[in-house]
A = this chain, B = another copy of it.
Amino acid sequence: MLLKWGIAAAGKISNDFVTALKALPLTEHKVVAIASRSQSNSDKFAKTHGIPNAYEGYDKLAKDENVNIVYVGVLNPQHYEVVKLMLENGKHVLCEKPFTMNEKQTRKLLDISKEKNLFLMEAVWSRFFPAYDKMIEVIKSGEIGEVVQVTVEFGVPISHVDRIKNKDLGGGVILDLGVYILQFQQYVFNGLKPTKVVASGHLNEEGIDSSVAAILTFPEGKTAVLSASSFTKLACEGVVYGTKGCIKMPKFWCPTTLEVNGVVIEFPLIKNEGEFNYLNSAGLAYEAEEARQCIMKNKIESSKITHDNTLELAQLMDKLRAELGVVFPADGESY
């Protein structure tokens, strides 16, 4: 089955996504349209990537009958409106993380997906890297015993970057880096719900979170200890401690290695000669293929990042923001 992609937004991540798709068979994935807020940006993006249709604004993309699925790479505060528009026009959607600004927006979009029977997935691309499959396989094998603690750190010196520091852009480390550390522990603990969540951090002058740390406690003595910072480089590693050993996943958001009880296993990145903005973006192809597989099977959600997973991530991010006192305009709206 050929999946015909429309791309919403012509920014850096859209560039990487479209470039990543080029590693996949042309009979299976094709980008047929690009839309952004300005015609000139769309035209430029279309030219760079050889995309036949370039639109100004997202309405035309939503109405393009040639498009099966839309990849949404707009700014965080626009996710909700753009995803809603696409679903209401019968498009499947792959939406960049954070899925939306809060739980309310998330619930609404998941409801529309269900009503319309359309595939909708939060672009938690990490989980489709082969190292994640291996991690789960090792955990299930009992090789590290019972999982007791997950420690994840993600810190990058980006406190000066607009998308992080600005309230208008839906900034903050919780939505940007936090979603990654939260999804990691969620995937490891596999459906187990935390009984307690505490968090603390630092806000910038706009009241936006520059750093956050959180402790999630679960039944049976299990704990997740998470931290994210825009001030400096942290370990950028996920560690799973079991009663008999441990798994380390360096660069856990786009991993190519896994260390199981000290033994390093390599997972070469999907081959791609394109130019990328972000580390290991060639791996965006994994999630694109997952979308195709799900749609072929008439599934509206992926088993690797289910609608429930997405809802829980939104609830956790709301909880972390509440603990730190971070409020966005969207929090005052009803949906």
Name A residues whose Cβ lies closer than 8 Å to a Cβ of B.
145, 148-149, 151, 153, 155, 157, 196, 198-202, 210-211, 213-217, 221, 223, 225, 227, 229, 231-235, 239, 241-243, 246, 323
Contacts and interface: CB of A to CB of B under 8 A. Distances in A.
29 contacts: A145-B232, A148-B211, A148-B229, A148-B232, A149-B211, A149-B227, A149-B232, A149-B234, A151-B234, A151-B235, A153-B225, A155-B241, A157-B243, A198-B198, A198-B199, A200-B223, A201-B217, A201-B223, A202-B217, A202-B223, A210-B221, A213-B223, A215-B215, A215-B227, A223-B229, A232-B241, A232-B242, A233-B246, A235-B239
Given A198-B199, A199-B198, A201-B217, A232 B243 contact: yes
A232 B148 CA distance: 7
Given A201-B223, A234-B241, 11 more contacts: A148-B229, A149-B211, A149-B229, A151-B227, A155-B241, A198-B199, A202-B221, A223-B227, A225-B227, A233-B246, A235-B239
Contacts of A196: 200
Given A215-B213, A221-B210, A221-B211, A148 B200 contact: no
A231 B243 contact: yes
Nearest to A229: B149
A241 B215 CA distance: 19
Contacts of A233: 241, 246
Given A157-B243, A213-B223, A221-B210, A148 B231 contact: yes
Contacts of A214: 215
B155 A149 contact: yes
A153 B151 contact: yes
Nearest to A243: B232
Contacts of A200: 196, 198, 215-217, 223
Contacts of A148: 211, 229, 231-232
Nearest to A210: B221
Contacts of A246: 233
Contacts of A149: 155, 211, 227, 229, 231-232, 234
A235 B202 CA distance: 26
A203 to B, nearest CB: 10
Contacts of A241: 155, 229, 232-234
A151 to B, nearest CB: 7
A151 B232 CA distance: 13
Contacts of A198: 198-200, 215, 323
Contacts of A155: 149, 241
Contacts of A229: 148-149, 223, 241
Nearest to A242: B232
Contacts of A227: 149, 151, 215, 223, 225
